[in-house]
């Protein structure tokens, strides 16, 4: 194997182009095997192998700085920068993260997982270099899909103003996670079709010098171009056309499905339709029927349809009633707010981690205008996710914005009732935290009138201890109630609050009569979250309150059982805390 000779980027400089081509094949096979074993980003990494080899051949990392956008395409980079053992040896498959990680290597500058950040980060590195009179190259590697994000444009606009070296490598595979959406993609298409020669050029329009590489999976072409821009004294874009999924036929054909795959995806037979009911499946079923019966309904999503169950078939069926705005969460919220304000019935579907992109739009464009948008927040909750993709912050972020009603369903019936109420009402922006885990169906029809805001529901009446168990932690609340009965002979009250954004003062006041302790359970961060409001309510009383949820911290691929222990979110540890308090 050529790879046997490659332990650092320096080693690359000693081999021939032919050997690099062989190396690319070897790397590709390692990536396919590893990703198919562990799950992970397949298409992005297969497409960028040659670009990564050429970058490390021409530039001198870590003196020269390479900043990866999203960094889900950094596997080839990891292989070439001392971490090939994470790919050659299955025992080490989980040794390195799927994103750049400064703690792993000096070749990784930033911990990155969200999109559209690389140009801004690179601009800061370039400006810092200029302040101290350094000479190194600063390179941002950004995919075409990420260009629609506002942060990317803000970065490009400012980077173009630098009077010094910055090299933006645009990896154009004509795909976001799904297909691209946005005017800029017509220009990229034109540039690809004219091999970079078209007069109308987005990058030139904002002041960049510009190079085009038509075969971005050809090491030699890439090296020649990178050599031309190395040590350049002004901002330049190198527009590289690559093939997403290159070298894996299925991935080249079905680019969306192979953007990220589950473990074993290559081994499985073609999937038949999902027969298990999930929150994704009931959501799509409900929205499809809604779209059919009501032409003012529209579903908006910022470029993550696959993760939410919005298959290409589903999107096609919705037609004009489905709007993928591209990676553009800020726009998604503002645009949806205007749709809601002008009589349409929009549902905006976003992932908890990415809703972080749009605080001000939620506050100003949406909440201040009281537009009756329905926003579905997916994946919220404590998990073993990467530090870049935690979903524990959405409650503090959304619920402290005035005017928004944030709802936490505990079962299918509640969820659908909340959804149908929200879509039809015209008074509030409503967010619904779609439970991220298995379905908890009570089988009981939900007849709640959600226009009566902030009415908590007592599911089971008891005394001494009251358990307020929010959303996807309602099940945990049920278990705690059972354990309290079994082990401490306490007949606890069990409450399903349903509303995250307000408290039921009357109900809380009444609890004082025959309860000593209230505990709150929430599947997210305590700081700024749901439980603290309950505690504040009881601050001037004798009621004791314990809040259970996650700490304010970035965890990183920490096993969920460990997190539950750390946060005292197991029934046993909750009972211990209750014992200590009573």
Is 364 a residue that touches a copy of itself (CB under 8 A)? Answer: yes
Q: Could you tell me the smallest distance in angstroms from the CB atom of residue 157 to a copy of itself?
A: 4
The residue among 96 and 110 lying less far from a copy of itself, judged by its C-beta, is 110
In the chain the first and final C-alpha atoms are separated, in Å, by 66
Do the Cβ atoms of 162 and 127 come closer than 8 Å? yes
User: Is residue 98 within 8 Å of 72, Cβ to Cβ?
Assistant: yes
> Cα–Cα distances in Å, from 267 out to 260, 262, 307, 311, 432?
15, 11, 21, 21, 36
* Segment lying near a copy of itself (by CB under 8 A), choices 220-228, 423-431, 520-528, 562-570: 520-528
Cα 250 from Cα 260, distance rounded (Å):
13
Q: How far apart are CA 85 and CA 105, in angstroms?
A: 13
Cα–Cα distances in angstroms (integers) from residue 278 to residues 211, 322, 374, 412, in the given order: 47, 21, 20, 9
CB of 2 or CB of 563, closer to a copy of itself: 563
Name which of residues 52 to 111 contact a copy of itself (CB under 8 A).
Answer: 65, 102, 109-111
Interface residue with a copy of itself, options 66, 112, 466, 494 (CB under 8 A): 112
Minimum distance of a copy of itself from residue 312's CB (angstroms): 18
**Which of 575, 572, 523 lies closest to 548 in space, CA to CA?**
523
> How far apart are alpha carbons 185 and 92 in whole angstroms?
39
At its nearest, how many Å lie between a copy of itself and the CB of residue 51?
22
One of 113, 145, 380, 409 touching a copy of itself (CB under 8 A): 113
State the nearest-atom distance from the C-beta of 331 to a copy of itself, in Å: 3
Q: Which of 312, 532, 558, 564 binds a copy of itself (CB under 8 A)?
A: 532
91 burial level (CB within 10 Å; 0-12, 13-18, 19+): exposed
Q: How far is CA 444 from the centre of its chain?
A: 33
Q: Which of residues 294-353 bind a copy of itself (CB under 8 A)?
A: 295-296, 298, 320-321, 323, 325-326, 328, 330-331, 334-344, 346
Q: Which is nearer to a copy of itself, 49 or 159 (CB)?
A: 159
Residue among 137 and 410 whose Cβ is closer to a copy of itself:
137
Interaction residues for a copy of itself, span 170-199 (CB under 8 A):
181-184, 186-187, 199
Taking the complex as a whole, how short is the minimal distance between the CB of residue 501 and a copy of itself, in angstroms?
8
* Contacts of residue 382, Cβ cutoff 8 Å, sequence gap at least 6: 392, 523, 524, 550, 560, 563, 564, 567, 569
Q: Choose, by CB under 8 A, the member of 66, 376, 533, 574 that binds a copy of itself.
A: 533
* β-strand partners of 65: 138
- Minimum CB–partner distance for residue 32 and a copy of itself (Å): 29
Task: Give yes or no for residue 449 binding a copy of itself (CB under 8 A).
Answer: no
Cβ contacts of 151 within 8 Å, gap of 6 or more: 116, 117, 120, 357
Chain positions 537 to 556 lying near a copy of itself, rule: CB under 8 A, are 538-542, 544-547, 552-554
Q: Three-state DSSP class for 38?
A: helix
Report the nearest approach of a copy of itself to the CB of residue 73 (Å): 17
Instruction: Specify burial of residue 451 (Cβ count, 10 A radius: 0-12, 13-18, 19+).
Output: exposed
DSSP 135: -
The verdict on 464 binding a copy of itself (CB under 8 A) reads: no
Among residue numbers 200 through 219, which ones bind a copy of itself (CB under 8 A)? 200-202, 204-208
Site string for a copy of itself, 477-516 (x = CB under 8 A): ----------------------------------------
Enumerate residues 381-440 that contact a copy of itself by CB under 8 A: 387-388, 393, 396-397, 399-403
CA dist., res. 504 & res. 507, Å (int): 5
535 makes contact with a copy of itself (CB under 8 A): yes
Which is nearer to a copy of itself, 199 or 449 (by Cβ)?
199
Residue 233 is a binding residue for a copy of itself (CB under 8 A): no
Asked if 579 is part of the footprint of a copy of itself (rule: CB under 8 A), the reply reads no
| Interaction of residue 369 with a copy of itself, rule CB under 8 A | yes
Pairing of strands 457-460, 493-496: antiparallel
> Which residue is listed with tokens 């609340």?
477
CA distance 130 to 126: 6
Beta carbon of residue 158, minimum distance to a copy of itself (angstroms, whole number): 5
Binding mask 136-175 vs a copy of itself (x if CB under 8 A, - otherwise)?
------------xxxxxxxxxxxxxx--------------
Q: Nearest to residue 84, comparing CAs of 17, 30, 36?
A: 30
- Closest to a copy of itself by CB, 358 or 374: 358
The residue among 235 and 497 lying less far from a copy of itself, judged by its C-beta, is 235
> Which residues from 36-55 bind a copy of itself, rule CB under 8 A?
none
Return d(Cα 280, Cα 262) in angstroms, integer: 17
Site residue total, a copy of itself (CB under 8 A):
121
Cβ count within 10 A of residue 499: 21
Residue number with CB closer to a copy of itself (55 or 534): 534
- Report how far residue 388's alpha carbon sits from residue 408's, in angstroms, rounded to the nearest whole number: 24
Q: CB 47 → a copy of itself: shortest distance, Å?
A: 23
Q: What are phi and psi of 559, to 5 degrees?
A: -55, 140
Q: Output 84 or 315, the one with its CB closest to a copy of itself.
A: 315
Half-sphere exposure of 200 (CA within 13 A, CB side): 9
């Amino acid at each position: 194997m050529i790879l046997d000779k490659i332990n650092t980027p320096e080693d690359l400089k000693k081999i021939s182009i032919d050997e690099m081509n062989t190396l690319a094949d070897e790397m590709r096979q390692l990536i396919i095997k590893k990703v198919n074993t562990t799950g992970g980003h397949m298409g992005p990494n297969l497409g960028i192998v040659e670009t990564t080899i050429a970058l490390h051949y021409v530039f001198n990392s870590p003196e020269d700085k390479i900043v990866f956008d999203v960094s889900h395409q950094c596997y080839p980079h990891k292989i070439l920068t001392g971490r090939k053992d994470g790919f050659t040896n299955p025992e080490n498959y989980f040794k390195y993260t799927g994103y750049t990680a400064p703690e792993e290597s000096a070749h990784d500058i930033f911990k990155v997982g969200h999109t559209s950040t690389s140009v801004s980060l690179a601009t800061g590195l370039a400006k810092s270099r200029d302040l101290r009179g350094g000479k190194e190259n600063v390179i941002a590697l950004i995919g075409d899909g990420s260009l629609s994000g506002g942060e990317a444009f803000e970065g490009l606009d400012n980077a173009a103003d630098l009077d010094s070296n910055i090299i933006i490598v645009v990896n154009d595979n004509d795909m976001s996670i799904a297909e691209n959406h946005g005017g800029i993609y017509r220009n990229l298409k034109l540039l690809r079709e004219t091999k970079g020669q078209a007069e109308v050029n987005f990058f030139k329009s904002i002041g960049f010098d510009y190079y085009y590489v038509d075969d971005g999976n050809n090491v030699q072409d890439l090296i020649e171009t990178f050599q031309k821009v190395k040590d350049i004294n002004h901002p330049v874009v190198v527009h590289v056309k690559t093939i997403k999924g290159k070298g894996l036929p299925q991935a080249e054909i079905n680019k969306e499905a192979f953007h990220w795959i589950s473990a074993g995806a290559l081994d499985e037979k073609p999937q038949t339709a999902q027969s298990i009911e999930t929150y994704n499946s009931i959501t799509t079923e409900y929205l499809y029927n809604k779209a059919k019966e009501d032409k003012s309904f529209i579903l908006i999503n910022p470029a993550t349809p696959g993760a939410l169950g919005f298959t290409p078939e589903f999107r096609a069926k919705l037609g004009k009633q489905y709007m993928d705005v591209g990676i553009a969460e800020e726009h998604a919220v503002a645009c949806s707010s205007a749709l809601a304000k002008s009589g349409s019935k929009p549902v905006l579907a976003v992932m908890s981690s990415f809703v972080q992109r749009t605080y001000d739009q939620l506050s100003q464009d949406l909440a201040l205008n009281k537009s009756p948008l329905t926003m579905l927040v997916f994946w919220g909750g404590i998990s073993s996710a990467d530090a870049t993709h935690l979903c524990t912050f959405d409650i503090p972020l959304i619920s402290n914005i005035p005017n928004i009603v944030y709802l936490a369903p505990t079962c299918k019936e509640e969820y659908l009732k909340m959804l149908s109420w929200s879509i039809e009402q015209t008074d509030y922006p409503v967010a619904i935290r779609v439970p991220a885990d298995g379905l908890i169906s009570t089988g009981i029809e939900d007849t709640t009138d959600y226009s009566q805001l902030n009415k908590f529901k007592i599911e089971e009446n008891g005394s001494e201890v009251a358990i307020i168990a929010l959303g996807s932690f309602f099940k945990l609340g049920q278990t705690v109630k059972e354990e309290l009965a079994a082990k401490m002979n306490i007949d606890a009250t069990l409450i399903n609050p349903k509303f995250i954004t307000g408290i039921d003062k009357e109900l809380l006041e009444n609890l004082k009569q025959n309860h000593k302790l209230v505990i709150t359970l929430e599947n997210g961060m305590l700081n700024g979250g749901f439980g603290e409001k309950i505690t504040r309510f009881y601050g001037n009383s004798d009621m004791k309150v314990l809040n259970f949820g996650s700490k304010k911290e970035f965890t990183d691929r920490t096993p969920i059982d460990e997190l539950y222990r750390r946060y005292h979110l197991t029934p046993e540890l909750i009972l211990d805390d209750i014992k200590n308090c009573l």
